[in-house]
Amino acid sequence: MPRVCLNLKGMHCPECVSSIEYALYQAGIKHFQYDVVSHFAKIYYEDEDVSLIQIADAIHRVGYDLDVMEIEEC
């Protein structure tokens, strides 16, 4: 299963994490892990269900910014 590591910007509380998590599951991701200390998220998805562009759009729609750190090997 493909995965991507993202540096999520502007997340300061559990509600922020919940907002992004909900948006990502609505977009079709399979699993989401977030580290509040490093601000890195691991997102697991199926290529045929969702693209990296759709993942980024879902995050932007709820008002957050991101940097893609590594694809596959994160």
- In this structure, what CATH number is given to the domain that contains residue 48? 3.30.70.100
Question: Can you name the residues that pair with 5 across neighbouring β-strands?
Answer: 42, 70
Give the pLDDT of residue 69. 66
pLDDT for residue 74 is more than 70: no
Q: Which pLDDT tens digit goes with each residue over 16-25?
A: 899 999 999 9
Task: State the CB neighbour count (10 A cutoff) for residue 74.
Answer: 14
Look at residue 26 and tell me if it is in a domain.
Answer: yes
Look at residue 74 and tell me if it is in a domain.
Answer: no
Give the pLDDT of residue 9. 86
Is-contact 61 23, C-beta < 8 A?
yes
| Domain range for 31 | 3-69
Q: Which pLDDT tens digit goes with each residue over 35-72?
A: 888 888 999 998 888 998 999 999 999 999 988 765 54
Give the pLDDT of residue 23. 95
Spatial neighbors of 41 by CB under 8 A, at least 6 apart, are 5, 6, 8, 20, 32, 33, 34, 35
- Domain tally for the chain? 1
Look at residue 10 and tell me if it is in a domain.
Answer: yes
Residue 23 burial (10 A CB sphere; 0-12, 13-18, 19+): buried
